Every structure is written in structure tokens, then in C-alpha cells.
Amino acid sequence: MGEMDTPAPPPVLEVSDLQVAYGARTVVDGVSLRIDRGEIFGLLGPNGAGKTTTLSAIEGLLKPKSGTLLVDGIDVEQQPLETKARLGVQLQTSSFQAELPVEQIAKLYGGLYGVKLSNEQIRADMQDIGLGAERGKRFKQLSGGQQQRLALYVATIHDPLLLLLDEPTAGLDPQARRGLWHRIEHLRGENRSILLTTHSMEEAQAVCDRVAIIDHGSLLTTGTPAGLIDKHKDDPAVVAVAHGAVTLEDVFIGLTGSEIRA
């Protein structure tokens, strides 16, 4: 008999019929999605659509009303420590201690994750992420782009299988945004999977392998950026908002509406 085939690993993330409620108000309603190894997946939606709530449930910070969340085949609710060890998280606003030097932040969070980092390793890491000259500066002295690069480094310091990024480039100038895109693509190249939320259709098309559009707590459509354009290019609501060739932003506005969200 020949050797048995090695079974395929489970998806990095599998969300099935997720419902999350704040009291009587359901904010995530029946969301299902799957992320495979080495994939960058974008969750797009207007303000209040349920993006951050979905990430919080995956992280284990919110208890779902119903549904299942599996990270690497492990149930988030039943085995929270095992799943959190596989996650790296970068939130919209970094909350590092403002007065601490960059090197001390790296060492502190390495210790929290059980990762021993020598001074030489930290110096090499800071050089690698473009903060070599800033490693002695206090966190508050860094620019917005530098703060985001440090936050991304800290989120991956324990080599997580799945990285959760909540609007990672919000508020950055074009150069800093492009630099962070490059860093995110580099991390995917190391066989991590990434789930990011964004308001930027340009960002979604630039870095995401697949995207899902969410509104009012429900997924409206999922696919590659180019695939979604092709799928919805003839929808009357999309055609009505397009100026020339249909873009991903036209699809987004056509499906979610043009009213401004708070």
C-alpha cells in the first residue's frame, strides 16, 4: 500500500452564520466567510455595518448570539486561549504607552507573548521595518505611519497564523499608506493569512485577494475585486452611480447606498 495522502489543513478562519447582538439590537446577522492560508481578505462596509464587531467576535472579545467561529479548526468560544495564540491584532488606534521608547515597547510585548527578544534582534527587526533610526524615540514622537508600522510589528511578534487589521491605514498620507500595503503583502508572503477592514476601495483592490461587502450586519457579496466588478457591473443600482467604466467603489455604493453614514 502507498502512503496515505496528508489531509488538507483546515481553513485559517471559518465563520458560520454569525449573529452578534447588543441587547435587543442585532448588529451582525448571519455572516459566513472562509479565509484560506496565505490569503488577504478584505471586509468592506460603511460605518456601522458590522465590520469591527465581526473582528471583535473573532478575537473572542464579544460573545456571539449564535453561529460558530473556528480559527485553524479550533472553536473560538470553547478554546479561547488556543485560538488567541494563533491571532495577531492591530486596532484602528494604537494604545501603546506614549512615553515608552520603541525598543522597550518591542521588548515588553515580546515578553507578554512569551517571545524572548535580544537587543540585537530588536535592532535588526526595527531596521527591517524602517524604524532603525527611531528605535530610541518615545512612541509619541513617531509619525502616524511609523506608529502603524510598530503596531503591525507588535501584532506579528508571536508569528500568528491569522492577522486581524482594523482599518490599518486610516489617516495615513499616501506614502505611508503605500508603505504599509507593502508590509502587509510581505507578511502574506510569509504564509500568514490576513483579515482587514477598510473604507478604501483602492486599498481593497491593491492588497486583497478576495473581499466581502457587509452592510446592516449582513454580507451582500463576496469575491475577488475584479470578480465583483464583473458580477455587478450590470446591476441597475451600480450603473446608476458609475462614471464611465464600473469600479469597485461603484459596486460598493450601488449595493450599500449613497447616503452618508455617521
Provide the greatest CA pair distance for the chain. Answer: 64
Q: DSSP states of 54-75 as a string?
A: HHHHHHTSS--SEEEEEETTEE
Residues 150 and 172 both lie in one domain: no
* Predicted TM-score (pTM) of this structure: 0.91
- Domain span at residue 137 reads 94-159
Is residue 8 in a domain?
no
Instruction: Please check whether residues 240 and 122 belong to one and the same domain.
Output: no
Instruction: Based on the fold, state whether residues 173 and 154 are members of the same structural domain.
Output: no
Per-residue pLDDT of the chain (262 residues; tens, 9 = 90+): 455 677 888 999 999 999 999 999 999 999 999 999 999 999 999 989 999 999 999 999 999 999 999 999 999 999 999 999 999 998 765 678 889 999 999 999 999 889 989 999 999 999 999 999 999 999 999 998 899 899 999 999 999 999 999 998 888 889 989 998 998 998 887 778 999 999 899 999 999 999 999 999 999 999 999 999 999 999 999 999 999 999 999 999 999 997 777 6
Assess whether 78 and 175 both reside in one domain.
Answer: yes
Task: Say whether both 20 and 53 belong to one domain.
Answer: yes
Residue 224 CB neighbours (<10 A): 14
Same domain, residue pair 128 and 169: no
Q: How many domains does one find in the chain?
A: 2
Residues 106 and 221 in one domain: no
Same-domain status, 169 and 212: yes
For residues 192 and 218, state if they share a domain.
yes
